[in-house]
Structures are given as structure tokens and as C-alpha cells.
Amino acid sequence: MKPRLVLTFCLGLALIPMEALSQASPIGDATTGAEVYRRECASCHQIGEGAVHRIGPHLNRIFDRGAGSHSDFRYSDALLRQGRDGLKWDLRRLDAYIENPRALVSGTRMSYRGLKDAQRRADLIAYLRVYSDQPQNIPEASPTAVIREVDLPESVLAIEGDVEYGEFLSSECTTCHQRTGSDAGIPGIVGWPEEDFVVAMHAYKQKLRPHAVMQSVAARLDDEEIAALAAYFHALARE
């Protein structure tokens, strides 16, 4: 129980349990890694107390977990196959996957171009390890444990989308994003949790995400329209 004692000192000072940080230090700098995580991963993955599956699975206890091993998450066939073949997320494999997901698992549904910078990867993995090493030490009810990409008023998140309007608006999306949920070249957006969809579109609208086409699309969508699209695509089941 010793770690818990240490933890009470740290609460309120940092988001990350400090004793876990020091243990993780040989890989990289977990504090810097937290920032890398926020930029690169947080729009799809949750980590920390209360983390659940969103667009991607939650990342608690990722170290040494078998690939595709959450039974309640819908993985690509490719990742499930790799998991059956024995792929485990050890340091080396995680590093390779984050560097270029499709190089390690061609056919993965993770629409991420990869992180080239080895130091930033090391920092990120150090941060992930914080939540794998001693997950029982993650502070409970920490309001910042689950990071949201953009700050949106609760009123915006609470808008109930007009699915029929969303269907009409979606025709602009489906020129590129396939209704089947396929993600070859362009990410699949079918079946996303509504909040994630709303947050992502507002991130484009506020130009926090860099993609020119998506910034342009999001620029003329108002809050109601974003909610309508989120409701429609959430309701549209993956084929």
C-alpha cells in the first residue's frame, strides 16, 4: 500500500502519478509524452481512470496485452489475425506500430499516419507505460484523467442531432468517406461515438486539426449541423 501514500501527496499537483513517472523514466519523459498523447492520440483513444473505448480502444494496461484482445471492441480483421498469431504490445512492437501502423499491421483500421520522431515516440510510450505499470495507482475521479481534444460547452455536446438532416448533410461526406466504414486512404467515420464526432468536427472548425479539406468542410457547419451528422453516422452501422 505504500504507493497510495505517496499518491495522496501528489494529488492536485499533477495529472500523472509521480511515482509511476519515475519508474517509467528509462524509456522516455512521460510528462512530455502526455503532451504528445494529447496531440496525437487523444482524439481517438482514452487513457486513465474511467477510460472507455471510443473510436479506438482505451489504452490502459496496453503493455504486454495481446493485439486485438479487448473482446468488447470491434477491431479490423487484420489486427485480430495478428493477435491470434501472437502479436503482443511490448516496447518494441508498440514503438514500431506508433511509428507506422500500416507497416506493422497492414489493414489496421487505425487511421494514423505514424510518428516519425523517435524521441517523441519514446516519451509517448513512457506516458502509456504509466497507465500500464501500476494502473491501480491512477487517481480516482481525476477530472483531467480523460483528455478531450477541444473544450466545448456542455450545451454544444448536449444537442440532439436531427438524423434526417444529418443524412442529407452526410452526402457531402460520403464522396470521400465510405458508408461501409472502409478506411482505405481516407478514415472510416461510420459508427463513431457521437461525442467524438462532435469534438473532431469542432477541432477542424477551430483549425486545431490541420487537414485543409476537413477545415473547409467544418467551417460552414454550425453546432446543430455537426450534431446532426454525428447522430446520423453513429446510427449508421458498419457493414
- Between 157 and 208, name the residue whose CB sits nearer to other proteins: 208
Minimum Å distance from CB 119 to other proteins?
17
- Between 29 and 183, name the residue whose CB sits nearer to other proteins: 183
Report helix, strand or coil for 88. strand
**Contact between residue 98 and residue 115 where contact means Cβ atoms under 8 Å apart:** yes
How many residues are present in the chain?
239
Minimum Å distance from CB 169 to other proteins?
7
Secondary structure in 3-state letters for 23-86: HHCCCCCHHHHHHHHHHHCCCCCCCCCCCCCCCCCCCCCCCCCECCCCCCCCCCHHHHHHHHCC
Q: Which residue has the cell 456542455?
A: 154
Minimum Å distance from CB 204 to other proteins?
12
**Contact between residue 98 and residue 124 where contact means Cβ atoms under 8 Å apart:** yes
- Between 99 and 195, name the residue whose CB sits nearer to other proteins: 99
Minimum Å distance from CB 31 to other proteins?
27
- Between 58 and 202, name the residue whose CB sits nearer to other proteins: 202
Would you tell me which residues interact with other proteins (CB under 8 A)?
113, 116, 164-165, 167-169, 171-172, 174-180, 182-186, 212-213, 215-217, 219-220
